[in-house]
Amino acid sequence: MNDKQRDALLQDADFVALARQKGMVSLALPLLALAAYFGFMALLAFGRDVLARRVAGDINLGIPLGIGVIVLCWILTGVYVLWANSKYDAMVARVQAKAGTQAGPQDEQKN
C-alpha cells in the first residue's frame, strides 16, 4: 500500500467510524469494570459497616456485591464478544474490501 492509498484509507468514512467505535468500546467497557472494582474496594476500605449488614442468615452484603463485581466482568466480556461478532468484524471486512486486503490467519502466521 502506497502513501496515497494509506491516506485515502485513513480518511475513509467507514475506517473513521471503525476507529471511533473501537475506541469507545475499548474505553467504556474497561472503565465500567474498573469503576465497579474500585468502587467495591473503596466500600471495603471506607464503608465496612455497609458491607457488614446481613442479607440472609450469616451472609453479609459484601459477599453478593463481590460476586456481583465478578459477574459484571463476565457480562462486560459477553457484551464485547457480541459487539465484536456482530458489528466490529463486519466493519473490518468492509474496510479491508475497500483497501483491497483480506487479512486472515495465514497473514498473521507470517509475522
C-alpha cell belonging to residue 104: 486472515
Taking the CA atoms of residue 11, residue 12, residue 15 and residue 17 in that order, the dihedral angle to the nearest 10 degrees is 90
Whether 1 maps to a domain, the answer reads no
Q: CB–CB of 88/21 below 8 Å?
A: yes
* Number of residues in the chain: 111
Whether 74 maps to a domain, the answer reads yes
Whether 3 maps to a domain, the answer reads no
Q: CB–CB of 54/60 below 8 Å?
A: yes
| CA–CA separation, 15 and 22 (whole Å) | 10
Taking the whole predicted model, whether its pTM rises above 0.85 is answered as no
Whether 2 maps to a domain, the answer reads no
Proportion of the chain above pLDDT 70, given as a percent = 89
Higher pLDDT among residues 101 and 42, named by residue = 42
- Residue-level pLDDT at 54: 92
Tens of pLDDT, residue by residue over 92-108, are: 888 888 887 755 554 54
Whether 66 maps to a domain, the answer reads yes
Whether 4 maps to a domain, the answer reads no
Whether 76 maps to a domain, the answer reads yes
Confidence of residue 111 (pLDDT cuts 50, 70, 90): very low
Q: CB–CB of 76/32 below 8 Å?
A: yes
Total domains, the chain: 1
